[in-house]
Amino acid sequence: MYIYSLTDPETKRLRYIGKTNKIDRRLYLHIYWAKKNERNQHVYNWIKMLIEKGLLPELNVIEQDLSEKKAIKREIYWIKRYRKLGEPLTNMNDGGLGFSLNNKIWVGRKHTEKTKKKMSLAQIGKQFDVNRRIALSNGHKRKNGIEYVSKLDRGNHPIKVNVYDAVSNKLWYKFNSILECARVLNLNRSFIKIRYLEDKPYVNFKFKLYGHNGRTLTRTKEKKKTSLQHHRS
């Protein structure tokens, strides 16, 4: 895992310390959630202010190649250190997993059978939103750390996805498959394909789909059926 920092491009002061196992996507996700404006957290409010100025935070790696357990301890260490140095961090807690019990990090602990039963009963009758149900579904599809995927994204030739800003039309991120894009944005793969076929943005993002040979997938509408066909871009 990585320990990273987000720096203000104007003041060059550190504003956030975090950990991740996917450093190449982390800044993109921070920007995505800030633009979506659904998480009322200090760090996302700060990033949103930068975006409104036409700026983006600078991501720098502090440490890398850490185990998860080591990364938890090192994140706590760096947050504590930079706060002592007077850096205006936006972190809401002292690091770790972002979850504690009686000021102790919840690591390596297990719920008792009695607690599990109470948690299960508490979920009866609850209805989750679409994205939550998709996330739960994806979680249930895992087996020994491997997620089963549809034939569309299986094998050596998955459909690739480029995500663009719907307003400026600037490229935000390139995904190697619809599955990867869906997992990062917490969306359904069919939803992404439909948005592309209908040429409609999602929030502030537009999707563009490519075949394995680099050709874009054309939008073709037939009676009671919509299909994807390859054409030369």
All structural domains of the chain, each given as residue ranges with its CATH number in brackets, are 2-101 (3.40.1440.10), 151-230 (no CATH)
The token pair that represents 93 in the structure block: 């807690």
Structure confidence at residue 201 (pLDDT):
85
Q: Please, which pLDDT band fits residue 107 given cuts at 50, 70 and 90?
A: very low
The token pair that represents 130 in the structure block: 């679409």
Phi, psi of 81 (to 5 degrees): -65, -50
Q: Please, which pLDDT band fits residue 63 given cuts at 50, 70 and 90?
A: very high
Phi, psi of 88 (to 5 degrees): -80, 70
Instruction: Give the range with max mean pLDDT: 63-67, 139-143, 156-160, 179-183.
Output: 63-67
Structure confidence at residue 190 (pLDDT):
83
Structure confidence at residue 226 (pLDDT):
42
- pTM for this one? 0.46
- State the DSSP H helix or E strand holding residue 147, giving kind and residue range, or none if neither: strand 146-147
Structure confidence at residue 109 (pLDDT):
55
Mean pLDDT of the 69-76 span = 89
135 or 166, higher pLDDT: 166
Structure confidence at residue 135 (pLDDT):
58
Structure confidence at residue 232 (pLDDT):
44
Least confident of 34-48, 121-135, 198-212: 121-135
Rounded to an integer, what distance in angstroms lies between the CA atom of residue 3 and that of residue 75? 6
Q: Please, which pLDDT band fits residue 187 given cuts at 50, 70 and 90?
A: confident
Mean pLDDT of the 16-22 span = 91
* Res 5 pLDDT > 90: yes
Mark out the alpha helices in 40-197 (DSSP H runs): 42-52, 68-84, 113-122, 130-140, 178-185, 189-197
Q: Please, which pLDDT band fits residue 134 given cuts at 50, 70 and 90?
A: low
